[in-house]
């Protein structure tokens, strides 16, 4: 009996010994043990997050890593949560009295991920590279000189008012000169940010690794995976299933998904007013929107209020001028664009000679007033454009305009619009600066005018915009901006529909995330708490 | 006397016999009843639908079934029942159109291949092989994608890929029928090729084609719904079951009726055609006749 007891006890001790032995050696590194105890209790042992988003973070801006979303690359100037300009890779900047010469003091002790020092030479290399790629981005640059190792001077031939905003824009991020080929193409996104790009599988995912020597302090996360999930339902279900930890970016969570996500106690929905206005564009070159009366009738017929209430579940703000609320200092005080007045729309169309033919669709010279509303399937997966288009369709039908909605793949969408083969479309536009926004949309040589097939050509507005870009006096500049906005609301080449309220969602063990109006990720501040 | 004998051979399996056998098949009758009902619904859609299917009542959006709307409303406040009723028109139209085109083309090409043989047979059947080597729905997706999204384009795309099955079956049947004595007899009597084909061979190969066409309806309806679900078919505001299903996806948890009803409609229709097809096969199968 005693013998048996001893054997049993011995066996028991051996078994417990084996098990506790195993437990003491996780992943076979017993040396790490004391370190782990130093970590605050609530922090998860593995500091990694997987974030889902509706577009490929490697595709935009040509860097191979979207600067605000990945934070692999950084611009000279940052924008805070109120969109004020704050020091980034530049710590100080001054303009000369005539507004022609800018002196920029750079941050000390910054290195690119490849070890190349960040200095005046690197910045000058970058500024010329970007100017060659998109002429005029930094204004009429005459020369750029290095005053010393960390100080540069940019001289313009004419004053360029939005210069600082241009430096702070996502597309003006600094890249290591070694990462750029002689023809200006970028091989690897080697920047200065808190994370570097470890790998990128186009159309699938991008993995970011921590930059231990980040100038702003070592980030808490070791690794970030950005998963490109174009379908909104799949994106939401991935978050619900715990496959991803966050849904980020503008157009991440769709408004109609919020009630479903709110059912989960472990998921937190975040939202803030963003800097992402959405515009409906009209092709002013082709029939029937080459007639200003018809464009105005469209403006009177649509009702952004109902779009916001029913398609966006309230996650949006009506825009009454082309300048969004995020640029409120530049926004015209009056409600310039007038909406939801179908009677006025019918009246305008009648004045323009459109007659009811009995079918409910108006006619003129035997031609029915039918237009094509072209949507990009990539954008439909991020914003409720399908629903919005159907509401617009019904509202235009109500005044006698027939709308054919067509959803096509993103590449075809761009091609068709560029060729002027669609009558209208809708897209978001975050914009570089208040001044350049007006240039991009309304100037005859503006980037969006050609790309979106608007082809708006108005000499008065062109001149005003050109003057605005050179006007450094703030009051005079605002006066010009107001004038431009007034003309826009009379000519109606574009119809601002709504200012987006950004919606993201995170699992509740993800801490430290602050939603930025420009959807810039504060990856260096985010960390993972352990789940109880 | 002589004439009479030939007539009996020509008429093939008696039609009445088939009806009698079909009547015994309960599932097939159920299918037939459902399909007939669907045809009526499609035909008299404006009389049956209580609301305008395309009219938005934004204030009435996402209402549950009941509440003045039989099946509730969708995210734009449109009556779901009315949209389903009008959607049946498109579903049946696509089904009948595509099956009519594919079966006609398939039977014609299959018959020519089987009857002529030689190089013509080679060419037609290699085309069939090439088309069959592609996954059908993917090819339809590519064609519809290139041509742009519209109802006509998906019907065209499905027609391009759908005829191959018929051609194969018909060719095989023709190959065996053309060796039969009555064909020999007709030929020796000096009948022309077209007479032999239309009077003697085709009536004898129609049984499998009818079964295939009925089951094909189910397949085509499902494929059309899938293509519309991916946004390639009908464009808004027109109602189509597949695209309604897609629109409801975002509201699956909060307004499940938006997906449940179109899903049920597709399922019931496809089942009905499958039941009928099964029944027809049993009724038309000559082997079953002998054993049963």
Q: What is the ipTM of this complex?
A: 0.76
3-state helix, strand, coil in chain B (%, to 5): 75, 0, 20
Q: What is the 3-state secondary structure (H, E, C) of A289-303?
A: CCCHHHHHHHHHHCC
CB contact under 8 A, A310 and B61: yes
Q: What is the pLDDT of residue A228?
A: 97
Q: Give the residue numbers in A contacting B (CB under 8 Å), as ranges.
A: 232-233, 254, 256-257, 259-260, 263, 306, 309-310, 377, 386-387, 389-391, 393-394, 404-409
For chain B, how far is it from start to end, CA to CA, in angstroms?
A: 31
Length of chain B in terms of residues written:
292
A464 to chain B nearest CA, in Å?
40
Task: Provide the pLDDT for residue B13.
Answer: 56
Cβ-defined contact of B236 to A259 (cutoff 8 Å): no
Instruction: State residue A135's pLDDT score.
Output: 87
Q: Which residue has the tokens 């890779």?
A: A89
Question: CB neighbours (10 Å) of residue A509?
Answer: 17
Chain A residues with CB under 8 Å of B144 CB are: none
Which tens digits make up the pLDDT trace of A218-258?
999 999 999 999 999 999 999 999 999 999 999 999 999 99
Domain count, chain B: 1
Which residue has better confidence, A111 or B67? A111
As a whole-number percent, the residues of chain A with pLDDT over 70 amount to 92
User: Using the beta-carbon criterion (under 8 Å), do A391 and B58 form an inter-chain contact?
Assistant: yes
Give the model's pLDDT for residue A40. Answer: 53
3-state helix, strand, coil in chain A (%, to 5): 35, 25, 40
- For residue A409, the model assigns a pLDDT of 86
Q: Poorest-confidence range of A53-57, A268-272, B30-34, B193-197? A: B193-197
Find the mean pLDDT for residues A135-159: 93
- Tell me which fold the domain A195-273+502-528 belongs to: D-Maltodextrin-Binding Protein; domain 2 (3.40.190)
Q: Round to whole Å and give the CA distance between A504 and A521.
A: 11
Report CB contact under 8 Å: B56, A233: no
Find the residue in B nearest to A305 (Cα): B58
pLDDT at residue A14, rounded to an integer: 46
Question: Taking residues A144-154, what's their average pLDDT?
Answer: 95
Contacts of A409 in chain B (CB under 8 A): 145
Give which of B54, B57, B58, B238 to mutate to test A binding, by max A Cβ within 10 Å. Answer: B58
Query: Can you list the residues of chain B whose pLDDT is less than 50?
Result: 1-12, 288-292
Give the nearest partner residue to A256 out of B77, B236, B250, using CB atoms: B250
Contact list in B for residue A389 (CB cut-off 8 A) is 236
pLDDT recorded at residue A7: 53
Residue B1 inside a domain? The answer is: no
Which runs of consecutive H residues, i.e. helices, occur in A214-362?
Answer: 232-240, 258-262, 292-301, 304-306, 342-351
Contacts of B145 in chain A (CB under 8 A): 409
Q: What's the DSSP call for residue B226? A: H
Q: How far is A234 from chain B (nearest CA, A)?
A: 10
- Average pLDDT taken over every residue of chain A: 90
Closest-CA residue of A relative to B234 is: A406
Nearest CA in chain B to A237: B250
Kindly report the nearest CA distance between residue A390 and chain B, in angstroms: 7
**CATH number, residue B201:** 1.10.3720.10
pLDDT value at position A19? Answer: 41
| Distant-in-sequence, close-in-space partners of B91: CB < 8 Å, separation ≥ 6 | B42, B221, B224, B225, B240, B241, B265, B266, B269
Tell me the pLDDT band of A182, cut-offs 50, 70 and 90: confident
Residue A381 and residue B30: Cα distance in Å, rounded?
41
Contacts of B148 in chain A (CB under 8 A): 406, 408
Q: Residue A62's closest CA among A167, A149, A188?
A: A188
Q: Which of A254, A394, A409 sits opposite B250 (nearest CB)?
A: A254
Residue B232 falls within a domain, yes or no?
A: yes
Q: Which residue of A has its CA nearest to B253?
A: A260
H-helix or E-strand containing A163?
Answer: helix A163-168
- Cα–Cα distance, A460 to B216 (Å, whole number): 63
The whole-number average pLDDT for the span A353-382 is: 92
For chain A, the domains span: 2-32+73-179, 195-273+502-528, 275-500
Contact B235 A404 (CB under 8 A): yes
What digits encode the pLDDT tens for the residues B129-164?
998 888 878 888 888 878 877 889 889 989 988 899
Q: What percent of chain A has pLDDT over 90?
A: 83
| Whole-prediction pTM | 0.84
What average pLDDT does this structure show over A433-441?
A: 94
**3-state SS class at A43:** strand
pLDDT in tens, A196-210: 999 999 999 999 999
pLDDT at A3: 54
A281-331: pLDDT as tens digits: 999 999 999 999 999 999 999 999 999 999 999 999 999 999 999 999 999
CA neighbor of A405 nearest in space, from A418, A383, A417, A390: A390
Domain that holds residue B35: 14-49+57-291
CATH architecture designation of domain A2-32+73-179: Alpha-Beta Complex (3.90)
- List CB contacts (< 8 A) between B250 and chain A: 232-233, 254, 256-257
Other residues' Cβ atoms within 10 Å of the Cβ of residue B79: 25
Chain B residues inside the 8 Å CB shell of A267: none
Number of A/B CB contacts below 8 angstroms equals 56
Verify whether the Cβ–Cβ distance B61 to A386 is below 8 Å: no
Round to the nearest angstrom and report the end-to-end CA distance of chain A.
45
Asked if A256's CB is within 8 angstroms of B235's CB, the reply is no
Residue A33: the pLDDT is: 43
Residue B4 within a domain: no
pLDDT for residue A392: 96
Fold classified for A275-500: Dipeptide-binding Protein; domain 3 (3.10.105)
């Amino acid at each position: 009996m005693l013998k048996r007891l001893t054997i049993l006890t011995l066996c028991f001790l051996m078994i417990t010994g084996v098990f506790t032995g195993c437990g003491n050696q996780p992943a076979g590194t017993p040396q790490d043990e004391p370190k782990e105890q130093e970590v605050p209790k609530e922090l998860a042992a593995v500091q990694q997050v997987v974030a889902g988003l509706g577009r490929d973070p490697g595709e935009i801006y040509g860097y191979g890593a979207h600067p605000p979303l990945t934070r692999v690359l950084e611009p000279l100037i940052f924008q805070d949560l109120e969109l004020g300009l704050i020091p980034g890779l530049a710590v100080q900047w001054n303009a000369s009295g005539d507004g022609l010469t800018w002196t920029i003091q750079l941050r000390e002790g910054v290195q690119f991920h490849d070890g190349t020092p960040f200095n005046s030479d690197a910045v000058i290399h970058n500024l010329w590279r970007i100017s060659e790629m998109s002429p005029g981005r930094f204004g009429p640059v005459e020369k750029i000189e290095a005053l010393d190792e960390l100080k540069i001077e940019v001289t313009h031939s004419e004053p360029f008012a939005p210069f600082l905003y241009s430096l702070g824009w996502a597309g003006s991020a600094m890249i290591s000169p070694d990462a750029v080929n002689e023809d200006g193409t970028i091989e690897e996104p080697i920047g200065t940010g808190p994370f570097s790009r470890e790998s990128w599988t186009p159309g699938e995912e991008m993995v970011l690794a921590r930059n231990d020597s980040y100038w702003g302090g070592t980030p808490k996360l070791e690794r970030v995976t950005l998963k490109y999930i174009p379908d909104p339902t799949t994106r939401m279900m991935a978050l619900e299933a715990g496959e991803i930890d966050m849904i980020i970016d503008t157009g991440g969570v769709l408004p109609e998904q919020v009630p479903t996500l709110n059912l989960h106690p472990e998921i937190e929905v975040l939202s803030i007013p963003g800097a992402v206005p959405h515009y409906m564009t009209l092709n002013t070159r082709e029939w029937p929107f080459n007639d200003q009366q018809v464009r105005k009738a469209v403006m009177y017929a649509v009702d952004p209020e109902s779009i916001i209430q029913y398609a966006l579940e309230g996650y949006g703000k009506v825009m009454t001028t082309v300048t969004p609320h995020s640029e409120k200092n530049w926004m015209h005080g009056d409600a310039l664009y007038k909406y939801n007045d179908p009677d006025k729309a019918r009246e305008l169309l009648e004045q323009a000679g459109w007659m009811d033919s009995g079918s409910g669709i108006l006619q003129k010279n035997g031609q029915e007033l039918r237009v094509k509303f072209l949507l990009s399937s990539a954008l439909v997966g991020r914003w409720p454009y399908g629903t919005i288009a159907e509401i617009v369709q019904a509202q235009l039908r109500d005044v006698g305009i027939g709308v054919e909605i067509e959803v096509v793949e993103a590449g075809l969408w761009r091609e068709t619009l560029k060729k002027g083969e669609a009558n209208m479309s809708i897209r978001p536009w975050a914009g570089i600066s208040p001044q350049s926004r007006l240039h991009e949309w309304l100037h005859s040589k503006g980037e969006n005018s050609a790309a979106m097939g608007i082809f708006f050509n108005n000499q008065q507005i062109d001149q005003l915009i050109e003057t605005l870009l050179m006007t450094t006096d703030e009051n005079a500049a605002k006066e010009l901006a107001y004038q431009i906005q007034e003309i826009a609301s009379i000519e109606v080449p574009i119809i601002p529909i709504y200012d987006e309220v950004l919606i993201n969602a995170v699992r509740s063990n993800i801490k430290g995330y602050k939603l930025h109006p420009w959807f810039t990720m504060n990856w260096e501040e985010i960390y993972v708490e352990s789940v109880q | 006397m002589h004439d009479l004998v030939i007539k009996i051979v020509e008429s093939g399996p008696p039609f009445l016999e088939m009806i009698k056998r079909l009547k015994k098949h309960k599932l097939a009758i159920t299918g037939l009843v459902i399909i007939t009902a669907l045809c009526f619904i499609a035909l008299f859609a404006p009389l049956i639908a209580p609301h305008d299917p395309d009219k938005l009542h934004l204030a009435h959006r996402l209402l549950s079934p009941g509440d003045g709307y039989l099946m509730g409303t969708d995210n734009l406040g449109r009556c779901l029942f009315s949209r389903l009723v009008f959607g049946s028109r498109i579903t049946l139209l696509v089904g009948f159109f595509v099956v009519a085109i594919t079966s006609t083309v398939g039977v014609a090409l299959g018959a020519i291949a089987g009857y002529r043989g030689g190089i013509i047979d080679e060419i037609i059947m290699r085309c069939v092989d090439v088309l069959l080597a592609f996954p059908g729905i993917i090819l339809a997706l590519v064609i519809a994608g290139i041509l742009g999204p519209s109802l006509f384009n998906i019907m065209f795309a499905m027609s391009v890929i759908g005829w191959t099955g018929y051609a194969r079956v018909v060719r095989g049947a023709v190959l065996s029928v053309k060796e039969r004595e009555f064909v020999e007899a007709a030929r020796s009597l000096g009948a022309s090729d077209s007479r032999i084909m239309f009077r003697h061979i085709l009536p004898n190969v129609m049984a499998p084609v009818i079964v295939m066409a009925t089951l094909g309806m189910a397949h085509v309806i499902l494929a059309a719904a899938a293509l519309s679900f991916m946004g390639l078919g009908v464009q808004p505001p027109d109602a189509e079951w597949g695209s309604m299903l897609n629109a409801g996806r975002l509201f699956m948890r909060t307004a499940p009726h938006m997906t449940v009803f179109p899903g049920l409609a597709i399922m019931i229709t496809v089942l009905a055609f499958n039941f009928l097809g099964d029944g027809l096969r049993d009724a038309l199968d000559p082997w079953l006749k002998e054993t049963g």
